[in-house]
Amino acid sequence: MKHLNCQFTDPVNLGIEIEDWEFSKMECDFDTLKFIKSDSTDSDFFLSKTINYGDVLVIFFLSIFLIFMIVKTLWNFIFSKD
């Protein structure tokens, strides 16, 4: 699995008595992520361009469950006991 590669720059001291350093800039390499910006809302998110085995496993079980529910519903509709 690829990781997001980010570089933090421009440290700023936020503390007055005790040093509290934070970074003011973050520059990332987005090779495996795609930035999605919504036109109608203020929602912004990153979409992964890769799929892993966990995703395949979840999709497989959800597909089996969906097929089972469709077959069960059709079976009860066609062969209902009136």
- What is the tens place of the pLDDT at every residue in 16-65? 888 888 988 988 876 777 888 888 888 888 787 788 899 999 999 999 99
Residue-level pLDDT at 2: 58
pTM: 0.48
Most confident of 10-14, 36-40, 68-72: 68-72
Distances (CA, A) of 78 to 1, 30, 38, 66, 70: 47, 51, 44, 18, 12
Residue-level pLDDT at 58: 97
Residue-level pLDDT at 57: 96
Would you say residue 1 has pLDDT above 50? no
